Amino acid sequence: MTTVKDIVSKFENFAPQQLAEKGDPVGLQLGDLNHPVHKMLVTLDVRPETVQEAIAKQVDFIFAHHPMMFHPIHSFDLSSPQNQMYAELIKHNITVYAAHTNLDNANGGMNDWLAECLGLVDCEPLLGPQAEKIYKLAVFVPETAAKRLRTGLAHAGAGQVGNYSSCSFSQAGTGRFLPEQDAQPYIGTTGRLEEAAEEKVEVIFPARKKAQVLSAMYANHPYEQIVFDLYPIEGMGDSYGMGRVGQLEKPQTLSDFIELCKNALKIPALRVVTDDLEQTVQRVALLGGSGAKFYPDAITKKADVYVTGDVSYHTAHDMLANKLNVIDPGHHFEWVCQPRLQELFTRWAKEEDWQLTVMATELNTDPFMFV
C-alpha cells in the first residue's frame, strides 16, 4: 500500500521543505499523510473546479504547486466558496500537499523546467546561490556494534556524497571509562576502570535530516551514554537558488523571442516592456510566478531580457528606464510544472513499485482571459 507519506518523502528528497522561502506555507495542506493513495492528481492550483475534477476521477491525493492555504481560516463559513472547497475535500477524503518555493529553488525543479521550455543553456541561478547546511557526525562505538550503527545511519540518510551512498569513515581506537554506582554498562563492571576496543564512525548529512540521523544513532548504539561530536562543515552542501539566467543557443530579435515564448508556453498573448522589438537578445533571465521585484538582479546578471509574471505599472516604468526588456506571460506560465510533475511521479512509482496512477489536471486555472 502506497501512502501520501511515501510519495511526499520521495519528493522531499528532491525538493526539501527547507528550500522554501521564509513564511511560505508549503507541505501538507489538508488531510492525512498516512492516507493510502491509488490515484493522485498534479496541478498548479487547487480551485473548486480542480476539486470537482479530482472527485470525478476518484483521486485520493492532490499535489499542487501553489499552496491552497496562504492564510489560516478564522471562520469555517460554508457560504464561502473557498471553505466549501475544503469541506468537499474532507467529505471525499482527499489529501492536499503543496510544493511552492521549495520546488522553485530546487535544482531540476520549476525554474529549470521553464528554462528548458524556452531553450536556455548554460544556466545559473538568478538569485543566490545559497548552500545547504551540512553536518558531520563522529560517534564512538564498540567494534562489535559498528556495522549495525553504520547501516542504521545510512538508512536514515547519512553518508550521501554526490552519487555515492552509505559513505562513512572509521578509525580504530581504545575507549576508557569507569562505570559509577548507578551506571548500567554495556561493557565492564561498576566501580572498575574499563578499556574497550572502539571504532570512531564519521558520516555527513544535510541539516534537514538531523533529527532522523540522531534517532538512528540512538536506536543502533548499545551504550547507555553515547559519546559523539556533531558540527557543521563548509563546502559540501548542494547549492540552489531562485530563478535562472541562461543563453539562447543563437541570438535572435526580441520579436522572435516573444513568438518563441508564446509557442513554448502555449499562450495567445503576453505583455512586453521594451523600447525596441527588433533589438537582438541572447542572454535571458527568468523567474516563475511573480518575480518583478527581482528585475535589478536580472540587470546585474547582464540579461538582455527578463521573463516573469505579474509586472505592475510603476515597476514596468522602472524596468523601461533601466533599459531592461521584460516579457510578462502572466503568473500562470508555471503550468509547465504539471506534465513535469506527472512524469516525475510516474517514474518514481515505477522505481518504487507503487501501485499508483498519476494524472495531470486537464483544467486551465488561469483567472485571466485574452479577448
Residue range 263-276: mean pLDDT, rounded:
96
Quick one: pLDDT at residue 235? 80
Can you read off the three cell numbers belonging to residue 149? Answer: 550503527
The confidence band for 371, taking pLDDT boundaries of 50, 70 and 90, is confident
Residue range 92-100: mean pLDDT, rounded:
98
Look-up of cell digits 562505570: 179
Quick one: pLDDT at residue 2? 97
Can you read off the three cell numbers belonging to residue 205? Answer: 548529512
Q: Which of 140, 247, 125, 258 is nearest to 199 (CA)?
A: 140
Residue range 218-245: mean pLDDT, rounded:
93
Q: Tell me: the pLDDT tens digits for 327-336?
A: 999 999 999 9
The confidence band for 74, taking pLDDT boundaries of 50, 70 and 90, is confident
Quick one: pLDDT at residue 256? 98
**104 annotated as a binding-site residue:** yes
**74 annotated as a binding-site residue:** no
pLDDT at position 129 over 90 = no
CB atoms closer than 10 angstroms to residue 108: 13
Q: Tell me: the pLDDT tens digits for 288-325?
A: 999 999 999 999 999 999 999 999 999 999 999 999 99
Residue range 72-89: mean pLDDT, rounded:
92
* Dist CA 52 CA 43 (whole Å): 13
Q: Tell me: the pLDDT tens digits for 145-179?
A: 999 999 999 999 999 998 899 999 999 999 999 99
- pTM of the predicted structure, to 2 decimals: 0.85
* Dist CA 308 CA 36 (whole Å): 37
Quick one: pLDDT at residue 25? 96
Gap between the terminal Cα atoms of the chain: 48
Quick one: pLDDT at residue 30? 97
Residue range 187-203: mean pLDDT, rounded:
95
- Neighbouring C-alpha atoms within 13 Å toward the C-beta of 346: 12
**Which amino acid is it at 187?**
I
Residue-range domains of the chain with CATH:
4-101+335-360 (3.40.1390.30), 110-129+241-329 (3.40.1390.30), 133-233 (3.30.70.120)
The confidence band for 15, taking pLDDT boundaries of 50, 70 and 90, is very high
Quick one: pLDDT at residue 365? 96
**66 annotated as a binding-site residue:** yes
Quick one: pLDDT at residue 370? 85
* Dist CA 65 CA 26 (whole Å): 9
pLDDT at position 238 over 90 = no
Provide the mean pLDDT of the chain: 96
The confidence band for 338, taking pLDDT boundaries of 50, 70 and 90, is very high
pLDDT at position 192 over 90 = yes
pLDDT at position 270 over 90 = yes
Share of the chain above pLDDT 90, in %: 91
Quick one: pLDDT at residue 28? 97
* Dist CA 25 CA 100 (whole Å): 8
* Dist CA 33 CA 9 (whole Å): 10
pLDDT at position 236 over 90 = no
Q: Tell me: the pLDDT tens digits for 108-124?
A: 999 999 999 999 999 99
CA angle 111-114-120, nearest 5°?
Answer: 100
**35 annotated as a binding-site residue:** no
- Neighbouring C-alpha atoms within 13 Å toward the C-beta of 21: 11
